[in-house]
Amino acid sequence: MKNKSLIPIIYAIILASGVLLGFYIAKSNVVSKSNDNNDFSCINDVFSLIKDEYVDTVNINDLQAKAVTQLLESMDPHSEYIKPEILNDVNDNLNGRFEGIGVSFRIEKDTIAIINTIKGGPSEKVGILAGDRIVYVGDTLIAGTNITNKDAMRLLKGPKKTKVNVKIKRRGVEELLDFTITRDVIPTYSVDVAYMIDDEIGFIKLSKFSQTTHSEFVNALKQLKSKGMTKLILDLRGNTGGYLGEAVGIVDEMLADDNLIVYTEGEHRTRSYIFSRYRGLWENNDVAILIDEGSASASEIVAGALQDNDRGTIIGRRSFGKGLVQEQFDLGENGAIRLTVARYYTPTGRCIQKPFTGDKTEYLLEEYARYETGEMYNIDSIHFSDSLKYTTPGGKVVYGGGGIMPDIYVPLKNDSTHYFFNRMANNSILFQYAFDYADMHRNEILKYGDVNKFNEKFVFTDAIFNELMKRSEEKKIKGTEADKIVARKLSEPLFKAYVARDVFGDEAFYVIYEPMDDILQKAISVLKN
């Protein structure tokens, strides 16, 4: 199994979350095309018969929604119907803003636990703190009610200037605390972190490609350049895509004018080329791009465009392989559809879309098949047909047929010495205990002042490790004494990184975990040599 616990957790920020396996040429179009009714006479006849003749009363709108969903699922893995009740939440994820109370949270022991408040947001303004638990929203008891993320978002999101009353349980305070929060516009960010690794190498991680990604990236570049950055690591691992235009903008910052970035083509869409068109901020400086099996769509455009133009170094593991273009068409009160309208191709002519045989589940789980074939652990397990071979202008051989293969492959660790630790991490034992520890010792940890001092002085004690072992045994995960020696060595930086992130923010995770990140370390080595 994939070691998901080693990937920094991005918490829900009071908005619906989902896998963005597509990027969208058009944000939204209204369906208004005139069609010959004869083309759809069978469908129309069926719905008319059901409405007029069926034995029981039926909701035609619900029936149509089910029919549209099944229809689109039969075509390709990424065309989909979006129900009207979730459309706003889906759009919010890419719009770079939403309206709500401005907190990051997770459901912890059947309670909404506040991870942090968004700086300057409504919750921070009224005094809500990280570690607080929301017990009531209005008069509704939510603690101990099996509340879900979806339920929490529904209760806490709302239009700007509307008010919501909450009752908070705070550690060390006996009575519940009452707060009235006035909802506001809350920005969502696609640049997770941007910091200097050393005096010359800067690091930027993008979580998605929203409407604000390019501008966020430019601001991060400028900030790091002012600190002396001369080499850049752009982390696209786990980035499942978003808007095409934002990906193009980022590539344009790194390519000289008039270089092909991507082209698209479909049965009803003529071939359309997109070139770099302006002088970018990072055209002449070294760059390394990090990708993995979770990098999809717009992430692959960035990696493929730079690779095919012999610009920078792509490092990591083969990307997801999503090369289908969706447009979103609004259906008024009936929601929207995202319809695949074209394929995209890298400058050398590679179609990155991986094969689809008709089984959507098999397609989406193809990533896990890579573990079975050994691809995740050994480059010798990866084989490409000569028919998929392409050559860049600089003479570098690249391959199509399913994702971007990096210039430098970095495998996952899967030897016997890591087996016990990987099982422990995969079962979220480290992550869960780190959250509990940070919650119980938040004030003590804050006394360190910043993440660097915390990293330097915090002691990973026997008591902490013994608690990890206790929790592992409770989940029937047992190891030998030799296993535990390895696990202790590997657990210390990851535990500290999780704790630091919960107290000091996302950047703290990377600062501490950096020496353990094989892909990142390879990028640092490449840029230094």
Residue 130 lies in a domain: yes
Distance CA 426, CA 1 (A): 8
The answer to whether 104 and 132 have CB atoms below 8 angstroms apart is no
What does the pLDDT read at residue 273?
97
297 classed as catalytic: yes
Q: pTM of the prediction? A: 0.83
CATH of the domain at 153: 2.30.42.10
Name the catalytic one among 79, 104, 210, 297: 297
Full domain range(s) for residue 141: 97-187
Q: Is the pLDDT of residue 17 over 70?
A: no
Name the catalytic one among 157, 322, 484, 496: 322
Q: Which has more confidence, 224 or 387?
A: 224
- Model confidence at 94, in pLDDT bands (50, 70, 90)? low
**Total domains, the chain:** 3
Q: Is the pLDDT of residue 28 over 60?
A: no
Report CA-CA distances (Å) from 327 to 276, 298, 309, 314. 22, 14, 27, 28
Distance CA 510, CA 203 (A): 10
Residue 42 lies in a domain: no
What does the pLDDT read at residue 231?
98
Residue 19 lies in a domain: no
Average pLDDT (198-206) is 97
Residue 228 lies in a domain: yes
CATH of the domain at 252: 3.90.226.10
User: Is the same domain home to 278 and 355?
Assistant: yes
Q: Is the pLDDT of residue 280 over 50?
A: yes
Distance CA 255, CA 247 (A): 13
Distance CA 74, CA 19 (A): 19
Q: Is the pLDDT of residue 16 over 60?
A: no
Positive or negative, the Cα torsion across 222, 228, 233, 239?
Answer: negative
> Residue 297 region, left (φ>0) first, then alpha (ψ -120 to 50), else beta?
left
User: Is the same domain home to 174 and 318?
Assistant: no
Domain end (from 414, 439, 458): 414
Q: Is the pLDDT of residue 216 over 60?
A: yes
**Which of the 8 DSSP states describes residue 187?**
E
Domain end (from 187, 203, 223): 187
User: Is the same domain home to 431 and 467?
Assistant: yes
pLDDT above 90 covers what percent of the chain? Answer: 54
Three-state SS for 398? strand
Domain end (from 166, 187, 208): 187
322 classed as catalytic: yes
Report CA-CA distances (Å) from 260 to 243, 249, 349. 18, 13, 11
User: Is the same domain home to 388 and 427?
Assistant: no
Token pair 């990604």 is found at 213
447 classed as catalytic: no
Please state whether beta strands 260-266 and 313-316 pair in parallel, antiparallel, or not at all (unpaired). Answer: unpaired
What does the pLDDT read at residue 299?
96
User: Is the same domain home to 475 and 454?
Assistant: yes
Burial of 222 (0-12, 13-18, 19+ CB in 10 A): exposed
What does the pLDDT read at residue 259?
97
Name the catalytic one among 252, 308, 439, 506: 308
In this predicted model, what pLDDT tens digit does every residue of 410-452 receive, in sequence order?
Answer: 998 876 778 899 889 888 899 889 989 998 999 999 999 999 9
- Model confidence at 25, in pLDDT bands (50, 70, 90)? very low
The answer to whether 330 and 31 have CB atoms below 8 angstroms apart is yes
